[in-house]
Structure 1
Amino acid sequence: MKRIYWLLLILAVVAAVASLVLFGLPLAEHKGYVLIAFQGFRYESSLWAFVALVLVVWLLVYLVRLSLRLLVTSGGLLNPWSSLHNRRRARVASQQGFLDLAEGRWARALRHLKQAADHSPQPLSYYLGAARAAHQLGQYADSDDLLEQALNRQPQAELAIALQHAELQLARGQTAEALETLQVMRSRHPHHHLVLRQLQQLYLQSEDWSALLGLLPDLRKEKILGNAELSELERQAWRGRLLQAGQQEEGDAQAALAVLQQAWQAMPAAQHKQPELVAVYAEQLRQLGAEAEAEELLRHFLKQHYDTALVRLYGLLRGSDLGRQLQAAEGWLKQHPDDAGLLLTLGRLCLHSQLWGKAQDYLESSLTFQRHPETCTELARLQAQLGDLARSNSLYQEGLSLLDSRLCTPALPVTT
């Protein structure tokens, strides 16, 4: 705009000079005449005198306006409660408030940000910062009140305010209130990634595995998590769901078993191939007294997916047919002759079937590949039963020593 004004001024000067050159001489010979008559008023003068009068009047008006503007400005500078000073104070308060918030000076941050919010047409960020500062000071009621004021001033920012409210509620341990806040936001913004992310963290923290499993399709659809993280979260959720299912209906094993089996059947087929989940399910079955079902499950799984951890668990089970169970384990030994865990399992199965000689051979072979506390304990029990107490005591001591080393427990001092 300034360039346009300067351009117009230059054009006016050029036009004036041209007019003076073209018409200056004729006008110098004829001064002209101006007559203004209105009722009783009469004004007569030459043209140039009238032009000079107009310029003087215009200059006076300009000077009066300039004086009034300077007077108002100086009054604002002198008046501490003027809008100029209010704007300056709000600007300083906002800058200092955020600095105090970042540096952990909560009381000063609260005071400055509240002051900035009172004088700002867009106070959302100031209210959110002030609410966080009040929360850090333990003034939870004031924090909620500030968020309410933010919602009243900027209702279109409801989602942003609710997200911070839920975050603060979780930090206070108000899990139920945070869940209610996030569920309301999910109903209004079902695809918002921050709402889904906070819900996922809340369900994970509260171990609400059923709700987390229900949230997984939305997390996958909206690509909230990467594939690896999503797979791990799904596996963790199903693991927790199986553990919870086996612990329900305390005192009623049959009811807990039915819930556990229902949870396993509801699990996707791809998760049935996860050794960790198979181990959790089999262990829960064992604890609920369904060892035969657990044995059958592991036997069929291990035929296709051999896993050392599952093999160790298999040795703790008593199936409906001990001979078939032992035969299945011996079949795996052909492909895994050096697996100490499998040899331990075979030793245990032989103990279940009272095959003492074979049990001793398998357990001795397991120790040649790995000195494990469980193997030492099983062999020590067998040696005690066979009457070799010296070897039994030696194996018990070795097992305890191995267990101490695993637990990083310092050896007890020897007293004399």
Structure 2
Amino acid sequence: MKRFYWLLLILALVVGVASLVLFGLPLAEHKGYVLIAFQGFRYESSLWAFVALALALWLLVYLLRLSVRLLVTSGGLLNPWSRLHKRRRVRLASEQGFLDLAEGRWARALRHLKQAANDSPQPLSYYLGAAQAAHQLGHHSDSDDLLEQALNRQPQAELAIALQHAELQLARGQTADALDTLQAMRSRHPHHHLVLRQLQQLYLQAGDWSALLGLLPELRKEKALGNAELSELERQAWRGRLLQAAQTADGEAPAALLALQHAWQAMPTAQHQEPELLAIYAEQLRLLGAEAEAEALLRPYLKQHYDTALVRLYGLLRGSDLGKQLQTAEAWLKQHPQDAGLLLTLGRLCLHSQLWGKAKDYLETSLAFQRHPETCAELARLLAQLGELERSNSLYQEGLRLLDARLCTPALPVEN
């Protein structure tokens, strides 16, 4: 582009020299004549005198315009309330304010960002930063006022302001107010992923599992979370829902059992195959006295999907047919002969059926593979019943030591 301009300049010089050579000499011989007459005005001169006058007038106008421009610029530099100084104040205040905010100097950040917001035509980011600083200082009413001012100045940014407001309300523990804010935004922006994510965090924090489960399809549809995060969130929600259902009805077991069963039936079939959820449901059934139902639920699952944690739980249940239950567990032993958890379960099932000798063998074999406090306690209880008190006391002490080690607490001295 610069080369093109240079070529044009050279071409203009060549044309000018050629024109001077071709036309300059004839014009020098003939000075020309200019006459301007208008009503009573009359102007006469040679052509070259007129050209000189025109150039002088053009130069005068140019100098006047340049002088006016310089006066305006210098006036802006000298006037502290000029646009130039106003833009400079906004820039300096915003730079310092955001730096203070990032470094945790809340009072200075609040002062600088408020100053930037007052002088800026687009003050949203400054108001949001100032509201955050006021929140960190504990000035919650000032924080809300700043967000209100931001809404008045830029009403088209309602969603951004509401999201910030809800986040601050959650941080203050104002869960109900945050819920009102987010639900209002959800009604106006039903598919916005940030609104959905903040609602998800609120429901999770409040333990509102039913609301969270109702939100999951929309989170999945809008891809507000990754697949792995959604799967974990769904498991967490159903885990909380099952535990919540078992604690309803003010401790009345029949009502709590009915609520627990309804929650399990409402769960998607795929979730019924999750070992963690299955364990929670079976354990809650056991605590509510429905051990036979829990055993009937675990037995077919364990035949297809062996799981050590569920096998341990299976040994705590008393099914409707203890003999069949023991046979089922013994069939698993062929494929898992060294599973200490399964051997503990077999020992417990033998205790349920009062098969003392068999129970002792299973429990001792389990301890040979793994020293577990529950196994020590079961065998100690059995040995005490059989009259072997010294070994029973020794196993009780060992179980306590193992439990203390698990809890990472210093073991209490135990007298012999």
TM-score of the superposition, structure 2-length normalised?
Answer: 0.91
Q: Structure 1, residues 270-323: CA drift from partner, whole Å, max 9, x if none? A: 111111111100111111111111121122222222222112112212222222
2:239 aligned with 1:248: no
**Residue of structure 2 equivalent to 1:38:** 38
The aligned runs of 1:334-413 (5 Å cut-off) are: 334-412=334-412
CA shift for structure 1 position 112: 1.8
**Residue of structure 1 equivalent to 2:328:** 328
2:71 aligned with 1:78: no
**Residue of structure 1 equivalent to 2:281:** 281
**Residue of structure 2 equivalent to 1:103:** 103
Evaluate the alpha carbon distance shift between residue 183 and residue 239 of structure 1 in structure 2; reply closer, same or farther with a 3 A threshold: same
The aligned runs of 1:81-230 (5 Å cut-off) are: 81-230=81-230
Evaluate the alpha carbon distance shift between residue 411 and residue 263 of structure 1 in structure 2; reply closer, same or farther with a 3 A threshold: closer
The aligned runs of 1:22-61 (5 Å cut-off) are: 22-61=22-61
Evaluate the alpha carbon distance shift between residue 169 and residue 11 of structure 1 in structure 2; reply closer, same or farther with a 3 A threshold: farther
Evaluate the alpha carbon distance shift between residue 18 and residue 111 of structure 1 in structure 2; reply closer, same or farther with a 3 A threshold: farther
Q: Unaligned regions of 5+ residues in structure 2, if any?
A: none
Number of matched residues? 416
Distance 2:174 2:371 in 1: 49
CA shift for structure 1 position 124: 1.9
Question: Percent of pairs identical after alignment?
Answer: 86
Evaluate the alpha carbon distance shift between residue 2 and residue 339 of structure 1 in structure 2; reply closer, same or farther with a 3 A threshold: closer
Computed over aligned residues only, the root mean square deviation of the Cα atoms, in angstroms, reads 2.6
CA shift for structure 1 position 13: 6.3
Distance 1:91 1:10 in 2: 45
Distance 1:415 1:298 in 2: 41
Letter in 1 for 2:314: Y
Distance 1:243 1:253 in 2: 14
Please tell me whether the aligned partners of residues 37 and 43 of structure 2 are also in contact (alpha carbons under 8 angstroms): yes
| SS in structure 2 of the partner of residue 250 of structure 1 | helix
| SS in structure 1 of the partner of residue 337 of structure 2 | coil
Name which of structure 1's ranges 14-23 and 151-160 shifts more when overlaid on structure 2: 14-23
Q: Unaligned regions of 5+ residues in structure 1, if any?
A: none
CA shift for structure 1 position 241: 0.8
Q: Structure 1, residues 124-151: CA drift from partner, whole Å, max 9, x if none? A: 2222222212221222222222222222
Q: Structure 1, residues 182-207: CA drift from partner, whole Å, max 9, x if none? A: 22223333332222222222222222
Name which of structure 1's ranges 89-98 and 262-271 shifts more when overlaid on structure 2: 89-98
CA shift for structure 1 position 261: 0.4
Distance 2:277 2:103 in 1: 46
Evaluate the alpha carbon distance shift between residue 403 and residue 324 of structure 1 in structure 2; reply closer, same or farther with a 3 A threshold: same
2:322 aligned with 1:315: no
Please tell me whether the aligned partners of residues 31 and 48 of structure 2 are also in contact (alpha carbons under 8 angstroms): yes
Distance 1:413 1:398 in 2: 12
Distance 2:147 2:106 in 1: 16
Distance 1:336 1:11 in 2: 98
Distance 2:390 2:5 in 1: 112
Distance 1:287 1:239 in 2: 16
Distance 1:310 1:10 in 2: 93
Name which of structure 1's ranges 247-256 and 276-285 shifts more when overlaid on structure 2: 247-256
Q: Structure 1, residues 80-99: CA drift from partner, whole Å, max 9, x if none? A: 22222112212212222222
Distance 1:41 1:249 in 2: 110
Name which of structure 1's ranges 36-45 and 60-69 shifts more when overlaid on structure 2: 36-45
Distance 2:402 2:87 in 1: 74
Evaluate the alpha carbon distance shift between residue 348 and residue 415 of structure 1 in structure 2; reply closer, same or farther with a 3 A threshold: closer
CA shift for structure 1 position 220: 2.2
